[in-house]
Amino acid sequence: MTAEGVIDTSAALRSYYAILLGGVERYGDGQELLPFLADGFEFEGPTAGRVAGAARFAQGVKGFIEAVRQITFIEAVATDEGAGVLYDAALPNATVRFAEFFEFEGGMIKTLRIHYSAADYLAAGGH
């Protein structure tokens, strides 16, 4: 099964990645993302550290949306409780591999833990 097929089984994941790839002009202030993030949403990643709150995450992810050119899904596993997604993100200067781990609550994203090389991400033009 392709990663896209697995992601298509989760409305929250499908919407999350569509928003990431929709471009910064469409993204605006991040209001489109908020309905897919549960109350008490938490994020953890190498450059941002631990972030509590959907609104803070929605502002922080804007830098990724500005930089990403394409996402190539490699592998994904999803259940009603959570998901793991491995992908390559094409950025302005290079491609960087990401692993994202989601926990769902009521069909919404409750937590997101992301793993990647912060040094590679910054060198590739991420911010």
Q: Quick check: 1 pLDDT over 50?
A: no
Asked whether residue 81 carries a pLDDT value surpassing 80, the answer given is yes
How far apart are alpha carbons 127 and 112 in whole angstroms?
18
Give the model's pLDDT for residue 26.
92
Phi-psi region of 8 (alpha: psi -120 to 50; beta: other; left: phi over 0): alpha
pLDDT on residue 38: 95
Q: Cβ(113)–Cβ(41) under 8 Å? A: no
Identify the band that residue 6 occupies on the pLDDT scale cut at 50, 70 and 90: low
Q: Is the pLDDT of residue 10 over 90?
A: no
Return the CATH fold of 3-123.
Answer: Nuclear Transport Factor 2; Chain: A, (3.10.450)
What is the rounded average pLDDT for all residues in the chain?
91
pLDDT tens column, 90-120: 999 999 999 999 999 999 999 999 999 999 9
